Amino acid sequence: MSQHAAPRQLARRLLILVAGLWLAGAAVAAVAAEPTDAQRTAFKQAYAAALQGGDGWKAAASSLQGYPLYPYLEAAALTHDIRQVQRPQIEDYLKRYPGMLTASDLRRDFLTELARRQDWDNFLAMYQPGLGDALTCNALQAQLSKGSQLDFDRDLASLWAKPKLPGACDPVLSAAHDQGLLTTQRLWDRIDRAADAVQPGTINALAGWLPAGDAESARRIASALSDAGTAAVAANQWPDSPRNRQAAMLALERLARRQSVTADIAWQKLQEHFAFTPEQRNRVMYALALFHATDYDASAISRLIALPASVQTDTSREWRVRAALAQQDWTAVLAAIDAMPATQQQDGEWRWFRARALTALGRSDEAQQVLTRLAAEPTFHGFLAADRIKAPYGICPIELKGNPQRERSLLANQGLVRAFELYAVGLPRQARREWTQALDGADQDTQKQAVELAYRRGWYDRAVFTFNTGDALRYYEQRFPLASQDGLVPQAEEAGIDPSWAYAILRAESAWMADARSGADARGLMQLLPSTAALVAKRNGVTWLGGDSLYDPVTNIILGTRYLAQMAARFNGAPWLASAAYNAGPGKVDQWLEARGSLPVDLFIATIPYKETREYVARVMSFAVIYDWRQHGNAVTLSQRLTPIGQTYTLPDSHSERKLATCPVVAPVAPAEAATAAPASSMAPPASASSSAR
């Protein structure tokens, strides 16, 4: 080495070291300090003003220039004033905040406004593809205004494949019709897709463009979907044509869902009137067999067995088991399970009932083998199996370990910072959107670290929605949080119900989304309808401040626990029956008890006609075991929670049998939860009420 080489090498090393220190410092600087309470208060005030439009928000936001959510203020004001703003104002915002959700939302809202104004020049200048069907159609209308002609394959094919389109597409479809692009074949193709999707409105809208004879047949198809009973009667007077046969078949299928006996009578008449194809006959026979089973008719099992193998589905095979369970015909139960494909037989429910059938048929050794394997699983039927063979519960938690380096990297992600801050200021819907965009494409380790950061901030639903498959289901601390800030435990105790059960209901209803709202307008953590909540508040002397107060976790839990107590009192305190009533309504539970109230509990649950309610009861009761274990390190047995029908349930106390949980040699993984998306209404009949088998 030369005399000068050593100093040069030393200098190079010093330069690399300095550069590394600078980069490290830059990374630390990139992680902004946690916003203060004063900033959050100022933002809330400014945001409330921005939602009213104008510039009034700016005074309240004078100290928020560097605050992560500052762009939300201007976007809120511009959105409110969208009918007055002009393109330069919007483009200025888009230029300053490229890639932000607020910018894309503002572009979409302004394009919708430009379409309303029919300002097609500015619309085309700002339009970007991929903003939804309505704006896609607006863009086509803009092109038409310039004298362009539509090309079906280029412009309409993807839209035409959809069974339902927004009203913004009506002018475009009319133009396509006037150009002769909507041929009879294309119209029927879309009508068939609409029929499969049960969209009678789309069919009626298209019928007018068909030739006269075809139009009437199309309207009959729409009638079969919207009023199956009337259509099934009227079908006796329809000519026997292919499309009329299709309408009659659809009417029979739909009618079978609601009135299987009436559908049977109609089928006897119509099969003589129409020359149904073999496929159409099979579809009707399948519907009749399936829905006679959901009605637990005496002929249900034989009807399902008689279906051709090519017609049977997992659903029809499952209902063959349920029909046999309702009759407590254990030979038929076992035969029905054996008729299932191997993959379906591995479902925990069918393994449990295989063991039950084997035991009843004197094959206890075989049953023991099935139960031993099933008892290792942390599920409803796994817990039942553990109770049956007096084994510990197979709950095998793993710890979510933090990674400081990855945490720093995540906190430098401005989208995630905005997500956390939106949650902190009470805007969870916007927070979820920022979260999704910020973590789009992230690897599993990054997502785990993000969930841990959210969990530490009290944002619990992120774990429920992220940890939903594989080993991630074993992050029990995050998936089943013991949130004390909302007062669930003392409120449940004051209401006279088991806190573990209340936790389970909350977890199943909303997945810890305080702003959850169902299609039936059930709201908040425990998914109460405002009308129900008002009655519960009056009955319990709780001040009622209106439906929006249900988004306050404390208020929601106070009323939710009282309503749970009310349901429990109606059913001898039994939490499993009260859970069914919470989901499907107490009137439905009364009907099921009248029909099958002599069954053992596990059979009664398995024969609940509504798929949603069956799964809900099993999920809630298994969650109650897990929450009990989370609180106490052991759990009151599931069997004690499943009080036989007609017996009074006793709240757990110091004398209750409690069970330890152990980690099996091969840690079991619970199946992904059936419902971790938008919660369903808890007080109204479930979406599946019109189709018990779904």
What are the structure tokens assigned to 409, written together? 């990297």
Burial of 380 (0-12, 13-18, 19+ CB in 10 A): buried
Residue 681 CA: distances (Å) to CA of 357, 517, 524, 688? 35, 8, 11, 12
> Considering Cα of 563, then 567, then 569, then 575, what sign does the dihedral take?
negative
List the structure tokens of 579: 């859970």
Locus of tokens 């029809």:
316
DSSP 3-state of 635:
strand
* CA 692/CA 596 separation, integer angstroms: 16
Q: Could you give the CA distance from residue 558 to residue 476 in angstroms, rounded to a whole number? A: 25
* Element (DSSP H or E) covering residue 124: helix 120-126
Rounded-to-10 torsion of CA 412, 418, 424, 427: -160
Ramachandran quadrant class, 205 (left: phi over 0; alpha: psi -120 to 50; beta: rest):
alpha
What is the three-state SS of 341-382?
CHHHHCCHHHHHHHHHHHHHCCCHHHHHHHHHHHCCCCCHHH
User: Is 156 within 8 Å of 176 (Cβ atoms)?
Assistant: yes
User: Can you read off the two tokens belonging to residue 233?
Assistant: 């009667």
Residues with Cβ within 8 Å of 261's Cβ and at least 6 positions away in sequence, in order, are 295, 297
331: CB partners within 8 A, 6+ apart = 357, 361
Are 396 and 378 spatial neighbours (Cβ–Cβ below 8 Å)? yes
Report how far apart, in Å, the C-alpha atoms of 530 and of each of 512, 517, 524, 550 are: 19, 11, 10, 8
Nearest to 470 by CA among 448, 439, 438, 440: 448
AA identity, residue 73: L
Phi, psi of 43 (to 5 degrees): -65, -45
Q: Which of 452, 509, 612, 615 is catalytic?
A: 509
CA distances from 45 to 71, 418, 425, 652 (A): 15, 18, 11, 47
Query: What is the b/e burial string over 5-22, where b = at least 16 CB atoms within 10 angstroms of the residue's CB?
Result: eeeeeeeeeeeeeeeeee
Q: Which of 573, 616, 613, 575 is nearest to 591 (CA)?
A: 613
Q: Active-site residue 421, yes or no?
A: no
Q: How is residue 448 written in tokens? A: 């785990």
Give whole-number Cα distances, 158 to 133, 137, 154, 163, in Å: 10, 11, 8, 11
User: Contact 547/533 with Cβ under 8 angstroms?
Assistant: yes
- In 3D space, the residue among 96, 100, 95, 91 whose CA is nearest the CA of residue 126 turns out to be 91
- The residue count of the chain comes to 694
Beta bridge partners of 658: 636
As a three-state string, the secondary structure of 393-447 is: ECCCCCCCCCCHHHHHHHHCCHHHHHHHHHHHCCCHHHHHHHHHHHCCCCCHHHH
CB neighbourhood size of 273 (10 A) = 16
Number of H helices, E strands in the chain: 39, 2
What does the DSSP 8-state code read for residue 688? G
Which residues are the active-site residues?
509
